[in-house]
Amino acid sequence: MSATIWVVGAGGIGASIAARLAGAGQRVVVIDDWAEHVDRIREHGLTLEHPGGVLHTRPAAIRLSELPELAELPAAADAAPPDLVLLAVKSDRTRETLLAVADRLPPGCPVLSLQNGLNEPVIADVVGPARTVGAVVRFDGALAGPGRVTQQRSDGDLVIGAVDRAAAGLVAGVADRLRTALPVVVSDDIWAGLWSKLTRNCLLNPVSTLVGLGLGRMAALPPVRQVCLRTGLEAVAVARATGVAVEPGILYGADLDRLFAGDPAAVRDFEAAFERTYAPFPDLKPSMLQDAEKGRTVEVRWLNGAVVDAAERVGVATPLNRALTERVEELVRGVRTPGMHNLEGLT
């Protein structure tokens, strides 16, 4: 039987990668708990709309709740046990989802996280560090409806690496599988990439959510740029204190040490590059804003909140990340409404 990839969690990123893999001829099973989404994929396929055109694919699809009865499903022949799992659920569901699928995985089957936040320790706790592969997703994806996903950017790649020395032997094989459909970069220090991605997520997602604007529109506003810079610097400080050297250019190419010193020229470099980066994408919405607008749970507790938690362990102050976490949670509860007023007191 041919090798099979399970994509567990078919949101914007999971569905877009599933479509690309299926379109490249990989045997793919999409597993999600949104019944309408799964049924649509079963009946009509999964469609990816991207700058290069429209890709229509027919991966197998099952509901997460159907896993216990997998052998009895009509599509069971298509839902073969995997030799690779791509985990793309929200961070608050990492452990429960893995526990639901773990006994269906063959021994040695690697699990790769496509998620935001730092989920790799949780994954390693469930399936073991020797099977845990980390990834940094450097492209966008958004669900446009059941069975339909969109991407606005044509650039971007997937950076993968072992989170523990025990998993190092798995990475090359995983990279080869994914390269059939995606640009893949192998990193020998995935923790630097994970913390770098966390830094970007922490400065973009909550601010966009609070002001209610796409990335290009918010990046044009000076108060937004100030809050984003300070938030990012806090995350970098925590990473360094935990022994992780983030990517030197993570704050849009500006010199990190000069930024920490408050060098006005370095601040101008950051602001100019930040605005320039997102100007072509005025209405590109990060995942947190998409979730908030749809009334879903948001991941701020696993992004900025993760920085705050790590900061407490190493004795670093993170007032911006703490405030953004609290304010986004207030917005989700209906205590706040989107707008620039949500940044008052943070600039």
Report which of 89, 131, 140, 303 is spatially closest to residue 209, judged by C-alpha positions: 303
Show Cβ contacts of residue 117 under 8 Å, excluding neighbours closer than 6 positions: 91, 198, 201, 299, 302, 303, 306
Q: How many CA atoms lie within 13 Å of 13's alpha carbon, on the beta-carbon side?
A: 24
The rounded distance, in Å, linking the Cα atoms of 91 and 47 is 25
Which helix (H) or strand (E) segment holds residue 19: the answer is helix 12-23
Beta bridge partners of residue 134, listed in sequence order: 161
Give all strands of the β-sheet with 132-137 in edge-to-edge order. Answer: 60-63, 27-32, 4-8, 84-87, 111-113, 132-137, 158-162, 184-186
DSSP annotation of 15 reads H
Q: What is the mean pLDDT of the chain?
A: 93
Cβ atoms within 10 Å, residue 287: 24
Cα–Cα distance measured from residue 325 to residue 332, given in angstroms and rounded to the nearest whole number: 11
Give average pLDDT by consecutive 10-residue segment, the chain, 347 residues: 86 95 96 96 96 94 85 55 94 94 92 94 95 93 93 86 91 95 95 96 97 98 98 98 95 98 98 97 92 92 96 97 98 96 95
In this predicted structure, what is the pLDDT of residue 77?
46
Predicted confidence at residue 72, as pLDDT, reads 52
Per-residue burial over 114-139, b if 16 or more Cβ lie within 10 Å, else e, is bbbbbbbebbbebbebbbbbbbbbbb
Q: How many CB atoms lie within 10 A of CB 248?
A: 13
This prediction has a pTM of: 0.88
Q: pLDDT digit string (tens) for 66-93?
A: 887 765 555 544 567 899 999 999 999 9
- Rounded CA-CA distance 342/347 in Å is 11
3-state secondary structure (DSSP) of residue 50: strand
The string of pLDDT tens digits covering residues 249-262 is 999 999 999 999 99
Helix axes 319-333, 222-241, angle to 10 degrees: 120
Write down the pLDDT at residue 296: 87
